[in-house]
Structure 1
């Protein structure tokens, strides 16, 4: 359990897995919102390394790919992008349209088979991104556990070639409002540094939906710390959950100082 890191009362469930630092309810299966896109990015990177996907392969956007919510492609005119472009948009601005195009290209079954090959048991994509999500659709985009996602973050922070690609994509994430908010870092530093280093560096992927706040990432300073923090609360109670996630980030900042 956490000691002194979180408010005594939270408006929902906060699942935390920070190996070697913090742990709270790490095995609870929760909705992931856009954090589930990490499974897609991992499989795209593995495909690039295996040679059956190519970074410069063009992908035409179909009408069915377009989706509201986070991202830029619904505001841009181009209808053809490369696999690498779409992965970058998925990681940097959590682009829902780019995500749907990549899921269509790679295939949902393959993404989940890849997740299983990486040791994930209960962390899965259930569907493509939908705005709105109707009763006939799967109830959410993705589900998983903090423990499994922290382990995935540790794998991404390792030396495998595909993992270095994903870590570079995550370094471009534009959302540092949750766990990294109290970690003193340069949010525009998208280079991937060695360890140790003088000041903290962050690469992460977030997920936001009504009642859902999720963040998975890698922090490098005097040491490396990987984390997964998943929050679920009633609609309207998201900010207290975000504050608790920031408190976890403060503990991580102390651990890497």
Structure 2
């Protein structure tokens, strides 16, 4: 299993961190951790843009008691554009399906798993959270359709079925092979977590999340075919309400865009947890990004403040790539 420590219990967390902290930096010169470059840049210098509004919004969220981690990497240069506490491991909720999808795609490619193998959901414990399959009459789906549901609709039941089929040890081994040292898939999706259950579905860091999305678009996640398959699934994601709200894309049909925008993302949501990671590329630049905000979900306004920080980042990412 990947080396990842569980986040401290609420009340014993490290002090809130934000852009005014020494750990936050804007860096257009430091080398990023992305391995290799799949293409030479033919675009202008994207690094001249700043993220002043994002820094201010993240500072406000951190001042309210949240723990914030962010990472933006310029894909053409392989450099860090913005980083703050990007090494810190935190709960990432549904974003934990990304390494699961990579393992599923790898087994499809290797022939150890048949994409059209049928899986019966009655073998699983029910999950009443996000997802569509629980509302459908058909109880049996092929594994490849379950992967689509997990990626596009955050379907917990479909993700649990895939995890049941490939096994948690295989996903943990894949995480290690990908070099995601601060990422761990701990458990299946559950409606309620008891004292004997893992406290979270998944853990990761902003650096790991930005790195794995960069690997996907650069055909470096396992193989070009696996990278392309997982990226294709993730371009179907319907949740464009956080960072992605600034793209103006249709949440239900954004695989191709008339304005030359390449975009794929995945979000994670749980009580007091909001996460988004992805890739956004335009004519001027391309970046991988990840933002994790863990906050006290005491009121609607606490939640709205967190959401606004994501949307502010989205606006400035669009300015950076265009």
TM-score normalised by length of structure 1: 0.93
Give the whole-Å Cα distance in 2 for the aligned partners of 1:191 and 1:64. Answer: 31
Q: Calculate the TM-score normalised by the size of structure 2.
A: 0.75
Distance in 1, Cα, partners of 2:176 & 2:280 = 25
Deviations 1:23-45 (A, max 9, x none): 12111111000011111111111
| Corresponding position of 1:149 | 209
Cα distance 1:190–1:145, how it changes in 2: closer, same or farther (>3 A)? same
2:87, 2:182 within 8 Å by CA — same for their partners in 1? no
2: CA distance, partners of 1:164 / 1:192: 15
Q: Is the 8 A contact 1:150 1:228 kept in 2?
A: yes
Within the alignment, does 1:139 sit opposite 2:199 as a pair? yes
Mapped to 1, the partners of 2:204 and 2:317 lie a distance apart of: 22
1:137-159 residue CA offsets vs partner (Å, 9 max, x unmatched):
01111001000110000011123
After alignment, is 178-187 or 157-166 more displaced? 178-187
The corresponding residue for 2:292 is 230
Would you identify which runs of 4 or more consecutive aligned residues in structure 1 move more than 4 Å? none
Which residue in the other structure is 1:256 paired with?
321
Q: Aligned partners of 1:220 and 1:19: how far apart in 2?
A: 11
The whole-number CA distance in structure 2 between the counterparts of 1:238 and 1:189 is 27
Is the partner of 2:255 in helix, strand or coil?
Answer: coil
Please give the secondary structure, in 1, of the residue aligned with 2:124.
Answer: helix
**Among 139, 146, 157, the residue aligned to 1:79:** 139
Per the TM alignment, residue 183 of structure 1 is displaced from its structure 2 partner at its CA by 2.4
* CA distance in structure 1 between the aligned counterparts of 2:277 and 2:227, rounded to whole angstroms: 15
Which residue does the alignment assign to 1:15?
Answer: 69
Q: Report the RMSD for the aligned CA atoms in angstroms.
A: 1.7
Write out per-residue CA displacement over residues 80-102 of structure 1, whole angstroms, 9 at most, x where no aligned residue.
11111100000010001001111
Change (3 A) 1:51 1:117: same
- Count of aligned residue pairs for this structure pair: 254
What's the offset of the Cα at 1:243? 0.8
Specify every segment of 5 or more residues in structure 2 that has no aligned partner in the other structure, as ranges.
1-24, 27-50, 75-80
Deviation, structure 1 residue 63 = 4.3
Q: Which has the larger radius of gyration?
A: 2
Superposed displacement of residue 162, structure 1: 0.3
Per-residue deviation, residues 141-190 of structure 1 (Å, max 9, x unmatched): 10010001100000111231101101111111000011111223343444
Q: Is the 8 A contact 1:184 1:199 kept in 2?
A: no
CA distance in 2: counterparts of 1:116 and 1:190, whole angstroms: 32
Aligned to 1:182: 246
